[in-house]
Amino acid sequence: MATSGKNLSQYSKDSIPSASSFTFGIVVSEWNEEITSALASGAKKTLLDCGAREINVHTHWVPGSFELPTAAKMLIDSGDYDAVIAVGSVVKGETDHFQFVCQAVAQGVKEVSLNTGVPVIFCVLTDNTIEQARERSGGKHGNKGIEAAVAAVKMAALRKKLH
């Protein structure tokens, strides 16, 4: 595996624009809350570390990952957000439910971002086991919430630059 033994969540603040002028939404699935809480925490801490003001980082919880695209669209429709991070965790079970949910969420996040022009960052873990999810939400592979926050800052800055 390409990520074996690697922490992919390290970043250099020198390579990231300041987040001080942006407002961010973080929509978080309640399902697999152990994982999603860690991802959301990593994202928020990183946004603040990159200069975002605490008052400009808003976290909203939704029942499950399937609801993330709708929640992201609601936040964007308010006109208050420069970027949204969609945080979820879907762990494969014994049925095809995993594939349907993962596909729908990925498509939904993409569609909201493309249709609105506001960056929606996909921070949904799609792991085979809960152990793999733990490794990617603060374990040996880092915290994907950190990576999502860095992407959100960079995309918000690009959007501002191009507008």
Give the tens place of pLDDT for each residue, 96-136: 777 888 899 999 999 999 999 999 999 999 999 999 999 99
**What residue numbers bound the domain in which 105 lies?**
21-162
Give the span between the Cα atoms of 51 and 46, in whole angstroms: 9
Query: Average pLDDT for residues 145-159, to the nearest whole number?
Result: 98
Task: Confirm whether 15 is domain-assigned.
Answer: no
What was the pLDDT predicted at 4? 55
5 in any annotated domain: no
What is the spatial distance between Cα 81 and Cα 56, in angstroms, rounded to a whole number?
9
Reported pTM: 0.94
| Residue 50 maps to a domain | yes
Instruction: Quick: pLDDT tens for 9-58.
Output: 788 888 899 999 999 999 999 999 999 999 999 999 999 999 999 999 99
CB 50, CB 150: distance < 8 Å: yes
Task: Decide if 11 is inside a domain.
Answer: no
Residue 115 lies in a domain: yes
Is residue 10, in this structure, part of any structural domain at all? no
Query: Exactly one of 58, 60, 97, 141 is catalytic; which is it?
Result: 97
63 domain residue, yes or no: yes
Q: What CATH number should be reported for the domain holding residue 128?
A: 3.40.50.960
Q: Residue 55 falls within a domain, yes or no?
A: yes
Active site includes 97? Answer: yes
Domains in the chain: how many in total? 1
